[in-house]
Amino acid sequence: MRVLALLVLAAAAVSVSCVDMWFNSAVVYQIYPRSFMDSNADGIGDLNGIKQKLPYLQELGVDAIWLSPIYKSPMYDFGYDIADYKSIATEYGTMDDFDALMVEAKRLGVRVVLDYVPNHTSNESVWFTNSIDKIGNYTDYYIWADGIPDEANASILNPPSNWISVFRNSAWEYNAKRGQYYLHQFVIGQPDINYRSPILREEMKDVLRFWLEKGVSGFRVDAVNMLYEVDPADFGG
């Protein structure tokens, strides 16, 4: 089960006030875009469909909508495997569609909260492919570890530890190109991000700034209890 957390932030350029604690009493309506409202008859819900339904939601007394992941993704895990944090999934629309949704939401006084998935990305993210190739700062964007030589056959490299994923398989997957294992606490296609990298931390803060500047009111933070593991140099801990 995913741990839920709500993170409400303000853009750095905006004066922060603790007076407006709107989230303490707000009626928040979660929307899974794919199944909510299809505006173009392609069988998939989209951002324009959400915009069309905003007046109805306002009439119901909804103060804020919480959008499940709308980012570019191969969709192996319903969008929780993000390939690009700053792009919209093509099946849901475009960034212009998102901007139009924000304009309508502001007009109606309905806040927008986004799902923020900071624990992992998709293995199709350019961050991950660059990390495999050890390109610049991307080298340490993910949690990599050497395998342990098998006692019976030293040419076989076993996983760095006996950690298991949420889905009860090994939490480690070997990447032959890099010659190391990477950690995935969820599925193989969701490599864990390395928060011990200060550059990665700044990258993730920049993702938040990007969407705050678009006008969102906050974030629901996914899998927040999994962001930090034991020291990567001590996988036996």
| CA separation for the pair 134, 206 (Å, rounded) | 22
Determine, yes or no, domain membership for 167. Answer: yes
CATH number of the domain that residue 75 is part of: 3.20.20.80
Q: List residues bridging with 180 in a β-sheet.
A: 175
Structural domain count of the chain? 2
**pLDDT at residue 18, as a whole number:** 54
| CA separation for the pair 26, 28 (Å, rounded) | 6
Find the domain containing 35 and state its range.
6-121+195-226
Task: Specify whether 114 is located in the same domain as 52.
Answer: yes
**pLDDT at residue 17, as a whole number:** 52
Q: Write out the two tokens for 189.
A: 């296609």
Q: Provide the sign of the torsion angle of the four alpha carbons 214, 62, 88, 106, taken in this order.
A: negative
| CA separation for the pair 125, 135 (Å, rounded) | 14
3-state secondary structure of 174: strand
**pLDDT at residue 59, as a whole number:** 98
Determine, yes or no, domain membership for 231. Answer: no
CATH number of the domain that residue 136 is part of: 3.90.400.10
Q: Write out the two tokens for 169.
A: 């398989």
Least Cα distance to 221 among 1, 2, 71 occurs for 2
Determine, yes or no, domain membership for 93. Answer: yes
Task: Specify whether 106 is located in the same domain as 207.
Answer: yes
Task: Specify whether 15 is located in the same domain as 74.
Answer: yes
**pLDDT at residue 19, as a whole number:** 58
**pLDDT at residue 234, as a whole number:** 61
Q: In the chain, where do the E strands start and end? A: 6-7, 28-31, 64-67, 71-72, 84-88, 111-116, 144-145, 148-149, 157-158, 172-175, 180-183, 218-221
**pLDDT at residue 1, as a whole number:** 40
Determine, yes or no, domain membership for 222. Answer: yes
Low-confidence ranges of the chain (pLDDT < 50): 1-4, 9-16, 236-237
Task: Specify whether 33 is located in the same domain as 80.
Answer: yes
Task: Specify whether 113 is located in the same domain as 32.
Answer: yes
Alpha carbon separation from 158 to 59, 113, 180, 227 (Å, rounded):
57, 42, 10, 24
Task: Specify whether 26 is located in the same domain as 93.
Answer: yes
